[in-house]
Amino acid sequence: MAETTPEQKNFLGVPVVKPRVAFFELSSCEGCQLQIINNEATLLDFLSLVQVVNFREAMTEKSDEYAIAFVEGSITRKNEIEKLLEIRRNAKILVALGSCACFGGVNQLKNRFDPAWVKREVYGYSPVDTEKAQPLEDFVKVDLNIYGCPVKKEEVEKIVTNLVIGKDIRYPRYPVCMECKANENVCLFDVGEPCLGPITRAGCDSWCPNNKAGCWGCRGPADAANMEEMKKIMDEKGFAEEIMIDRLECFGGFKEYVDKLRKGQAP
């Protein structure tokens, strides 16, 4: 499943084997895949680490023999389940790439509505095949999640490098707020902006708050995220519950807590 080349790379004197990697997309904007070719400065180095055998957006050749599969997008149709199961059978490591694959992403916002109304609103009475939007892990074992909408390319490259050289992959356990503080940003709450930085998993280097845009929680909850405290901050700063729900439910990472809030069961 892997290939060595004459100009083989080394890591600490151990030869690195170039794994065969494949990229697939389900219901998505294909932006996370694009993030990978969007990294012009390091793209060629990155490509020297792996052997891309399947990447429909960039190449015509394709192969079903691959060790690592990156799957972008959520499941919204039955044929996507079949495709995902096939990828699972072929791949040694299946990576959920981006928030749609990890949590359902923005697509899962349609799950708020009656499916019949959703279809009618867009397609009238013409038949169209669509199901509830769900993350990959509802159907197959996912070996690795890469969070974010979009994924942060530096993080993808780090994770892939670690996969290739066999190093452990660790996610930050702390929230975006920590990175934001380390970046010495002015707290957005102090300038009147709502932000989910205190509860969202770090790893994006506080991408949005660095640009004076409050966090919308695209990476899902940090370990031991304190939802009650978050709610208290939002209340104290005068942000309506709707504002908190809009952000929490946008990418699907906080589904359980949103359900509680909507049912009025959250403290």
Partner 1 sequence: MKLNCNIDVHHLTRVEGHGNIKIRIQDGKLVEARWEVVETPRFFEAFLVGKKWDNAPWICGRICGICSIGHTLASIRAVENAFGIVTTEQTRKLRLLLKHMETLQSHILHLYFLAAPDFLNSGSVFPFIESSPEVVVRAAILKLLANDVCDCIGGRRMHPTRTVVGGFTMLPAKKQLSEFGGRLKAACDDLSKTAELFRSFAIPDFSRETEFVSLKGEGDYPFIGGDLISTDGIQKKEYEYKQMTNEYIVEQSTSKWSRLSRKSFAVGALARMNNNFASLHPKALETAISFGLKPVNHNPYMNNIAQLIECIHVVAEASDIINDLLDSEFSEPRQAVTARAGVGVGAVEVPRGILYHCYEFDDTGHIVKCDCVIPTSQNHANIQHDLEELAAQCSRQGKTDRDIELLAQMLVRAYDPCISCSVH
- Does 224 interact with partner 1 (rule: CB under 8 A)? no
d(CA 220, CA 223): 10
- Does 61 interact with partner 1 (rule: CB under 8 A)? yes
SS3 label, residue 3: strand
At closest approach, how far in Å is the CB of 195 from partner 1? 12
Strand pairing class (10-11; 14-15): antiparallel
- Does 6 interact with partner 1 (rule: CB under 8 A)? no
SS3 label, residue 95: strand
d(CA 227, CA 235): 12
Binding-site member from 184, 190, 236, 242 for partner 1 (CB under 8 A): 242
Closer CB to partner 1, residue 61 or residue 236? 61
Q: Residue 61 carries which side chain, given as an amino acid letter?
A: E
Inter-CA distances, 188 with 43, 139, 215, Å: 34, 38, 9
- Does 116 interact with partner 1 (rule: CB under 8 A)? no
Closer CB to partner 1, residue 109 or residue 169? 109
- Does 12 interact with partner 1 (rule: CB under 8 A)? no
Let me know: does 18 contact 4? Beta carbons within 8 Å.
Answer: yes
Residues that bind partner 1 (CB under 8 A): 25-35, 37-38, 40-41, 43-44, 47, 52, 55-62, 76-77, 80, 105-107, 109-110, 112-113, 117-119, 121-124, 126, 128, 130, 133, 149-150, 207-208, 210-213, 216, 242-243, 246, 250
